[in-house]
Amino acid sequence: MAAKKVNEDLQRERSKCSFDVEELTNFLDWGPQYTKRRRTLEQKVLSVKGLLDDIPEEYLSHKEKYENAVRKAVLLYRTLQKVDNSNISDEEKTRANFRNMISSAVFRDGTPFTLHFSMFTPTIMGQATEEQKAYWLKRANNMEIIGTYAQTELGHGTFIRGLETRATYDLETEEFILHSPTLSSYKWWPGGLAHTSNYCVVMARLFIRGKSYGIQPFMVQIRDEKTHMPLPGIKLGEIGAKLGFNNVNNGFLGFENHRIPRDRMLMKNAQVLKDGTFIAATNSKLTYGTMVYVRVLIVNNMANLLARAVTIVVRYSAVRRQSQPKPNEPEPQILDYITQQHKLFITIATSHAFYINAMWLWEIYFSVNKDLAAGKLENLPELHAIACCLKPICTSDTTMLIERCRLACGGHGYMLASNLPQMYGLATAACTYEGENTVLLLQAARALVKAWSVRAEGKPLKGTMAYLAGTTTLQKWDSSVDSIVKSFQVVAIRKVSGAVETLKDYQKSGLSQEDAWNKASVYLTAASEAHGRAILLSVYKSEMDKRTASLSPSLKKVLHQLVELYVIYWALEKVSDLLLYTSITEKDITELQRRYIDLLEKIRPNAVGLVDAFDFRDEILNSALGAYDGRAYERLMEEAMKSPLNVEPVNETFHKYLKPFMLGKL
């Protein structure tokens, strides 16, 4: 973090900070040992030559981006292998890496190896037999093969039962025949599939003797290991340029009666015997665990994205001066404008809220996972419902807030050199992948409607749904943080009951159950959102109370200001719900509004300290606007000078087109 000359405004901000920045960094890292580990890793990796780009990715052609990304991906993997040789458990390693964003320094727009680590290897672990694991996991872990995971098809997304790719068992040869019967059945989207991977887990509909046995996973070699040529009967290519993730090499895959041996079906759960006997999986809910795991990681990733974005924007807002409200005074730092604080400080608080929720979810995930190993499945549906609410809320809030941060930088936020547009691209993609947000909210709604009938039967509800058994009216409104948090539970209860009511009304009017569900779906998604918000708020508040107990008073104070800000912000955002379902009055609202503005003023002196505490190295921020030294304009110019268009003073199109055009000859 050493810098030659730090911008004076930033320096002054830092001198005003009322708490120990390092203490907050350790808190966010989940302990000082993790801060130390992360920094050591960053220092070692980021000093390796060739990992950071001389010419920013955005100046390259689509093809060059991919080629550059492969070069860097290989180098990054080998580097990490060398330097990250600590002997800690997988669980601790995952947690230790919660705030490891090294790859953001290397790639602004993803890497072609992502799916190998995030989906290919985990699928082998979760779905392969011990024997299969012994072979495939070793090869995958050693990177002797590069794999990906192919589920979605050109015509089929979140709805897995709709997949068309066929795997027909041939009893005579004991092989599966993979086939894509239509264009819409082509696999479409998997990262690394286009030109990078030579193996792939393919989800396909199993047929034995003409009968369908559902969607099953198959390990398929797609390219020759020596020549990398697609194997016969396999059609491969890339799907084209996207809003983001352009280094990821997303591909398509079609089969023309391609045969694979029987043992390539991953048979930990369901099995096909040599004679074509099908043995079903004992429990279909076991795969929920992985889904929840991925969604915890998404919540944590969103916290990281928000933290990076707001670091950039707060520092820039401390450096940028604009307008002149008072004659004869200099232009103020834009961070002094309340409208700017309104855009930024909630982003800091949201990042904290998501970090804390991710930590909490992680611990629940671990305890449920232990239950699973012991054969206890009863807590899975509730956990699944939380994940189905939190993933959509966290991804869409993050998308909205990053965009707000970007717009708060004015025109310069539109520059790719700010790295904010790219972060937006990464965030908004998360609204679609791993379960489309609206679809997930509707899934969560099923669990909530079910919970409501449990309540109606007078039975108890458990865990995060326990509150749904509570009162439907809040006693007297009281503007304390705890009371507001409670009021969000009342709102959720009322939204759930309202959705159930609507559902019933539509059914009574003669609609089928399915049509009534569809017609009520706007209410149902609203109920899920309310449930998710209630959880987010209450976990943020209660976990913060618990986890900050041993912190210094000065830090504790600031962290609780952010909790209060977050809670009041959402109370004001959802004030219509509070007006409908609690006894809040116009006067209470006015008071909350004033308190919100006062909180912005209280947080203002610590704003730079708060983002410094996220402790992102300049390489990881990867932004001309947000570097530690605050030299935003100098860096913008330095980045501009890297544009290949700036190498020559006159572009050749002048002679070819513009000159003859201006002379009237073209």
Which residue is catalytic, options 164, 434, 529, 543? Answer: 434
- Residue from 110, 147, 157, 626 that binds a copy of itself (CB under 8 A)? 157
Residue 268 DSSP one-character state? S
Interface with a copy of itself includes 510 (CB under 8 A)?
no
Interface with a copy of itself includes 371 (CB under 8 A)?
no
| Burial of residue 540 (number of CB atoms within 10 Å: 0-12, 13-18, 19+) | buried
Structure tokens at 536: 């987010």
Interface with a copy of itself includes 645 (CB under 8 A)?
yes
Interface with a copy of itself includes 507 (CB under 8 A)?
no
Among residues 222 and 544, whose Cβ is nearest to a copy of itself?
Answer: 222
Q: Which residues have C-beta within 8 Å of that of residue 15, sequence separation ≥ 6?
A: none
Closest by CA position to 432, among listed 615, 244, 257: 244
CB of 42: closest distance to a copy of itself in angstroms? 23
Closest by CA position to 102, among listed 622, 635, 633, 637: 622
Among residues 64 and 256, whose Cβ is nearest to a copy of itself?
Answer: 64
Cβ contacts of 576-581, under 8 Å, gap ≥ 24? 577/491, 577/494, 577/495, 577/530, 578/477, 578/487, 578/491, 580/494, 581/472, 581/473, 581/474, 581/487, 581/490, 581/491, 581/494
- Residue from 1, 273, 279, 338 that binds a copy of itself (CB under 8 A)? 338
CB of 312: closest distance to a copy of itself in angstroms? 15
CB of 28: closest distance to a copy of itself in angstroms? 28
Q: Interaction with a copy of itself in 40-69: which residues (CB under 8 A)?
A: 56, 58-64, 66-67
Among residues 239 and 372, whose Cβ is nearest to a copy of itself?
Answer: 239
**Cα 480 from Cα 495, distance rounded (Å):** 22
Residue entry with tokens 């700036």? 646
Q: Interaction with a copy of itself in 380-439: which residues (CB under 8 A)?
A: 403, 407, 410-411, 413-417, 421, 424, 428-429, 431-433, 436-439
Among residues 28 and 571, whose Cβ is nearest to a copy of itself?
Answer: 571
Q: Do residues 222 and 129 touch, judged by C-beta distance below 8 A?
A: no
* Per-residue three-class SS string for 30-66: CCHHHHHHHHHHHHHHHCCCCCCCCCCHHHCCHHHHH
Residue entry with tokens 């019967």? 181
Q: Interaction with a copy of itself in 258-317: which residues (CB under 8 A)?
A: none
**Cα 197 from Cα 205, distance rounded (Å):** 22
Spell out the alpha helix ranges (H) of 85-127.
90-96, 102-106, 114-115, 121-127
Interface with a copy of itself includes 143 (CB under 8 A)?
yes
**Cα 524 from Cα 502, distance rounded (Å):** 9
Size of the site for a copy of itself (CB under 8 A): 135
CB of 624: closest distance to a copy of itself in angstroms? 9
CB of 111: closest distance to a copy of itself in angstroms? 13
**Cα 299 from Cα 398, distance rounded (Å):** 10
Interface with a copy of itself includes 211 (CB under 8 A)?
no
395 is in an annotated binding site: no
Interface with a copy of itself includes 556 (CB under 8 A)?
no
CB of 68: closest distance to a copy of itself in angstroms? 9
147 is in an annotated binding site: no
Closest by CA position to 64, among listed 252, 253, 246: 246
Interface with a copy of itself includes 252 (CB under 8 A)?
yes
Active site residue 434: yes
CB of 241: closest distance to a copy of itself in angstroms? 4
Choices 230-238, 364-372, 448-456, 610-618 (CB under 8 A): range interacting with a copy of itself:
230-238
Interface with a copy of itself includes 576 (CB under 8 A)?
yes
Q: Interaction with a copy of itself in 70-109: which residues (CB under 8 A)?
A: 70-71, 74, 77-78
Residue 225 DSSP one-character state? T
Choices 34-42, 321-329, 373-381, 456-464 (CB under 8 A): range interacting with a copy of itself:
321-329
DSSP, residue by residue, 515-545: HHHHHTHHHHHHHHHHHHHHHHHHHHHHHHH
At 275, is the secondary structure helix, strand, or coil? Answer: coil
Choices 18-26, 195-203, 265-273, 357-365 (CB under 8 A): range interacting with a copy of itself:
195-203
Annotated binding-site ranges: 152, 191
Query: Which amino acids are annotated catalytic?
Result: 434
Binding residue ranges for FAD: 152, 191
